[in-house]
Structure 1
Amino acid sequence: MTSWKVTLPCTRAEAEAIDAADDAAEGMVLMTTELEEDDREHWRLDAYLEVAPTPEAIAAIRLLAPSAGDVAPVVEELPDEDWVTLSQDGLEPIAEGRFVVHTSAHPVAAPEGGRAFLIEAGQAFGTGHHATTSGCLAMLDRLADQSFTRIIDIGTGTGLLAFAAQHLWPAAEIVATDIDPRAIIVTRENAELNALDGIALIVADGALDDTITARAPYDLVIANILAGPLVSMAPELAAIAAPGATIVLAGLLETQRADVVAAFAGCGCTLAETDRRGDWTILQLTAGAVRYVPTKPIDPKGRDGWALDL
């Protein structure tokens, strides 16, 4: 099958924004590559398509890399190749604690006492290759000696963090949610690929869905999304947490940490640990000794009023 690749230069900031977005460009697989170690300016964006790129598609790709300015994109026809496999050629396996994450292009065995997850690059965020997701894996690994019975993964993406939680706490009741129905489809497919079952999958905007609140409180809350939504959703995430629950937050830049911590402190949560990875930071918080009750009704349409101006 003939496929196509469109390449543009980009910056590290643009690459990280692309990696963190689960709907950056429809009908494409996007890959970003660091060209020089620790160089913020010299990265590359490759967009793989099944059909010849239209002017509209190229314009959409250009929007993802505004630093490219008037640089002409390199458009290549890739005959008789699997475009998804091509897009994964650079995705080497990543290891965090007892977990290894790999694509079918780079299969690996699980470490002794650990677990290997097959997660293909595709339509949902969370292959483990972004610092926020790998940092969450490491954070969960460090929590392995604690006991959790009810766990929720908000913004599950590919399902990877929910899968890791199930490996660590197999007797726990686990819920994985995402606002994007495609992500829940991807999570279900990934669960089948990895011979996993028993995780409840819910399409939901935030944590206000009746199915989510009916299962509350949760003693482990995971939310790997973005800083703005974390700030705006702090009251509802704190409200579904059990007293003393562990809350793992990611998707925020180090420069946004104070705002996120302050939002959750206002809901009775205290900071327990941070894990900084480049410009990104993963937070572990502890819910208050008394279950938090929001001081005003939470309207999903109005939560943006709490959001950061990102």
Structure 2
Amino acid sequence: MTEARFTLTLPALSHDAANVLASSLEENFRIDPMAITINETDEVKRLWEVALYFASADEAEDAKTLDELKDGLIAPMPQQDWVRQSLEGLAPVTAGRFFLHGSHDRHRRRPGGIALEIDAGTAFGTGHHGTTEGCLLALDRILKRRMPSNILDVGCGTGVLAIAAAKATGRPALASDIDPEAVKVTVANAALNGVKPLIGSFVAAGLSHPRIAGGGRYDLIFANILARPLVALSTGLARALAPGGDLILSGLTLEQMRWIEATYESRDLVLAGRITRGNWATLVFTRAQKQKCPGGRTPGRLLVAGSRGAGWEFDC
């Protein structure tokens, strides 16, 4: 992709004048800047500038033929490694036994615990977000009392949660996402963190994918997505959870927490814990060891096929 290398700037305008000029320039077919922005330059005097970005000095000079831009100042943009600069702004995150860092912080790894290397990229989930950190803390607490063996990460993003669970347990984990780019990033991160053979990542919307439905009941499920999808998937996630298993939900704000709690408690799950980070909440639900069926019968196997395709049904 072509990068902007030169700016053409008109400084010392009022906010209204800067807005009007920027709007008129965007509609002017005689110039074709890569971007146009307005930036505040003096808060006290309320002065703003209009900046146009061009790939070459010649393009910037051509734009100055417009009367509105004839007094503009052309300057080269400083050449910076913006990706590296953004990564260096992300400090490592410690969440229980997990130490999550970018490639620029490998030298800061701790001698103990579990290190996870995840760089900021094209998929959500570096671990610096409060929801991902909350999920890692929830996983750390679960690992203090038991070792999950059948793991599912729904909406895996960069794969950080599935990778963390696989590294901590040595057990395989399924990692699904609706975005093909997220699946690609998850596979790459699994290889980088030495657990590629343990991570099965694939594109899937919801829980009806044969690899999910055919995996039996899961004793650890992550769903770090958003509140509305969590509600839509509540019945399926509840049915996919094994007795005694843990369901870690996040991607919801503090205001949405009660809504999600009520939804999942109505699915016969028990709230086992809450973790909050800023305005974000992580909830942990569990299923009772013995699932009751109509008439007091004990549930049998999980059906994964039917007239409408694969799905979750209790064989009571």
Q: Distance in 1 between matches of 2:254 and 2:150?
A: 29
Unaligned stretches of 5+ in structure 2?
Answer: 6-32, 39-47, 54-75, 294-301, 309-316
2:161 partner letter? L
SS of 2:205's equivalent? coil
Q: What residue in structure 1 maps to residue 178 of structure 2? A: 179
Mapping of residues 2-81 of structure 1, within 5 Å: 3=3, 53-54=34-35, 79-81=78-80
Cα drift, residue 108 of structure 1: 3.5
Q: Which residue of 2 aligns with 1:168?
A: 168
Q: Deviations over 1:250-288 (max 9, x none)?
A: 111111111111111121111010011111111011124
- Counterpart-to-counterpart distance in 1, 2:175 and 2:135: 15
For residue 163 of structure 1, give the secondary structure of its aligned residue in structure 2: helix
Task: Report the AA paired with residue 199 of structure 1.
Answer: I
Residue 10 of structure 2 corresponds to: none
Stretches of structure 1 that go unaligned for 5 or more consecutive residues are 6-51, 60-70, 300-310
Q: Tell me if the contact between 1:154 and 1:177 (Cα under 8 Å) persists in the aligned partners.
A: yes
Contact 2:216 2:240 (C-alpha < 8 Å) held by counterparts = yes
Tell me the SS of whatever aligns to 2:214. Answer: helix
Q: Percent identity?
A: 39
- Distance, in Å, in 1 between the alignment partners of 2:50 and 2:164 is 39
- 1:92 aligned partner: 91
Change (3 A) 1:114 1:239: same
Classify 1:134/1:108 alpha carbon distance in 2 versus 1 (closer, same or farther; 3 Å).
farther
Contact 2:187 2:199 in 1 (8 A): no
The answer as to 2:291 corresponding to 1:290 is yes
Which residue in 1 is equivalent to 2:299? none
Q: Say if 2:154 and 2:176, in contact at 8 Å, map to a contact too.
A: yes
Residue of structure 2 in register with 1:34 after alignment: none
In the aligned structure 2, how far is the partner of 1:154 from the partner of 1:133? 13
SS in 1 for 2:153: strand
TM-score, length of structure 1 as denominator length: 0.69
| Counterpart AA for 2:287 | A
Provide the C-alpha distance between the structure 1 equivalents of 2:176 and 2:184, rounded to a whole number of angstroms: 11
Change (3 A) 1:211 1:80: same
How far the C-alpha of 1:73 sits from its partner, in A, is 8.2
Counterparts in 2 of 1:147 and 1:291: CA distance versus 1, 3 Å: farther
How far off its partner does 1:88 sit? 1.6
Find the aligned partners of 1:87 and 1:105 in 2 and give their Cα distance: 11
2:35–2:52 contact (8 Å) kept in structure 1: no
Q: Deviations over 1:37-73 (max 9, x none)?
A: xxxxxxxxxxxxxxx7446xx79xxxxxxxxxxx878
Aligned partners of 1:226 and 1:252 also within 8 Å:
yes
Larger mean CA deviation between 74-83 and 234-243 belongs to 74-83
Amino acid of the structure 2 residue aligned with 1:157: G
Task: Please say if residues 114 and 168 of structure 2, whose CA atoms lie closer than 8 Å, have aligned partners that are also in contact.
Answer: no
TM-score normalised by structure 2 residue count: 0.67
Q: Which residue of 2 aligns with 1:38?
A: none
Deviation at 1:2, TM superposition (A): 7.9
Query: Structure 2: which amino acid aligns with 1:91?
Result: L
CA contact under 8 A between 1:270 and 1:285: conserved in structure 2? yes
Letter in 1 for 2:154: I
Instruction: Rate the CA distance shift 1:209–1:82 in 2: closer, same or farther, 3 A.
Output: same
Q: 1:268 to 1:53 in 2, by over 3 A?
A: farther
Which whole-Å CA distance do the structure 2 matches of 1:121 and 1:73 have between them?
Answer: 30
**Over residues 134-160 of structure 1, what are the superposed CA-to-partner deviations in whole Å (9 max), with x where a residue is unaligned?**
111111111113121101011111111
Greater gyration radius: 2
Aligned to 1:238: 238
Secondary structure at the aligned position of 1:176 is classed as strand
- For the pair 1:275 / 2:275, whether they are aligned, the reply is yes
Q: Which residue identity lines up with residue 133 of structure 2 in the other structure?
A: S
- Give the Cα–Cα distance (whole angstroms) in 2 for the partners of residues 130 and 231 of structure 1: 21
Contact in 2 for aligned 1:248/1:285 (Cα 8 Å): yes
In the alignment of these two chains, the number of paired residues is 236
Is contact 1:99–1:111 with CA below 8 Å preserved after alignment?
Answer: no
Aligned residues: CA RMSD = 2.9
Q: Whole-Å Cα distance in 2 between the matches of residues 93 and 229 of structure 1?
A: 29
Is residue 2:127 matched to residue 1:124?
no
Alpha-carbon shift at residue 117 of structure 1 (Å)? 1.6
Q: Does 1:249 align with 2:249?
A: yes
> CA contact under 8 A between 1:93 and 1:101: conserved in structure 2?
yes
